[in-house]
Amino acid sequence: MNRTLCGIELVLISLLCLVPLAQAADPVTISSLQAYPEAYKMKVVQVTGLVSGYEMHHFIGTSSKLEKCVQNFLVDDGSGAIEASYAALCQMGPVLLKDGDQVTVEGHYLGTLDVKSVRKN
């Protein structure tokens, strides 16, 4: 019985170790995203480039009363540009961007990038 439980525990631990790998973003060029959109659709990708066309929008939740910051911008990596949107609670101190920032963004590709994380380079 103990031997079976140990085997099950090892299998579960091994599977849990693989979960972060499955969620890791693939670094890609914007030209690749535009050339092969179906290959990247709904996948988490990583793009590095310059921010331009930056806009910030604020919303207050009707029931939660929490302020949401939505940042819309273009990322240009030299091979092309793609629209990106980064939404976060303003109170949580999201990374605030501006035109000209060099960034690495990770997000789901849906024809545009639904950004989950941003890092200024």
pTM (predicted TM-score): 0.76
Residue 18 inside a domain? The answer is: no
pLDDT attached to residue 57: 95
Residue 7 inside a domain? The answer is: no
pLDDT attached to residue 17: 44
pLDDT attached to residue 16: 47
76, burial (CB in 10 Å: exposed 0-12, middle 13-18, buried 19+) = middle
pLDDT attached to residue 12: 42
pLDDT below 70 — which residues of the chain? 1-24
Could you tell me the residue range of the domain that residue 38 belongs to? 24-120
Residue 15 inside a domain? The answer is: no
**CATH code at position 84:** 2.40.50.140
Residue 12 inside a domain? The answer is: no
pLDDT digits (tens, 9 = 90+) for 22-55: 456 879 999 999 999 999 999 999 999 999 999 9
pLDDT attached to residue 37: 95
pLDDT attached to residue 1: 52
pLDDT attached to residue 19: 44
Pairing between strand 102-109 and 113-120? antiparallel
Q: How many domains is the chain built from? A: 1
Residue 16 inside a domain? The answer is: no
Alpha-carbon distance 56 to 73, whole Å? 9
